[in-house]
Homo-oligomer: A and B are copies of this chain.
């Protein structure tokens, strides 16, 4: 990564933290940076690994939780019982979710992507049901892994 890009990201990270009234700490900077550098979603395990074993497990959990609370990242439900977190482009960076996009899980590279441009379709339920939220998770092969 070119040096000026890195500096830019570091500034971006600090701004993002301050904007969300979070004190700027090493772990928050590092973990947020991981999300910004990464197109897909990250599981807790990924983060521990990529952060270079520098932070305590508990710190990572608490950092992720604070990010979720502030609306910087959001969780993605998966079938395999592992929580994944994603920082969505655009709106989500501003601190409020527009979580009506679908999630895509590549069965080849095992990455999870937020497809921000694909909105969740209307679902018609039988009488008596009230809809509060619709979550769509699509499994398949992503455009990087497809021929």
Instruction: Give me the interface of A with B, judged by CB distance under 8 Å.
Output: 75, 77-79, 81-83, 102, 104, 107, 115, 117-118, 121-143, 146
Contact = CB atoms under 8 A, between A and B. Distances in A.
Given A77-B78, A81-B82, A133 B140 contact: yes
B125 A130 contact: no
Query: How many copies of this chain sit in the oligomeric assembly?
Result: 2
Given A75-B79, A79-B75, A82-B81, A124 B132 contact: no
Contacts of A79: 75, 77, 135
Q: Which of A107, A124, A132 has the most CB of B within 10 A?
A: A132
Nearest to A134: B138
B140 A137 contact: no
A115 B146 CA distance: 33
Q: Which of A79, A118, A129 has the most CB of B within 10 A?
A: A129
Given A83-B81, A118-B123, A128 B102 contact: no
A139 B133 contact: yes
14 contacts: A77-B77, A79-B135, A81-B81, A115-B125, A121-B122, A126-B143, A127-B143, A128-B142, A130-B146, A131-B138, A132-B139, A133-B140, A134-B137, A135-B137
B141 A129 contact: yes
Given A81-B83, A83-B81, A138 B125 contact: yes
Contact of A135 (B107, B121, B139, B143): B139
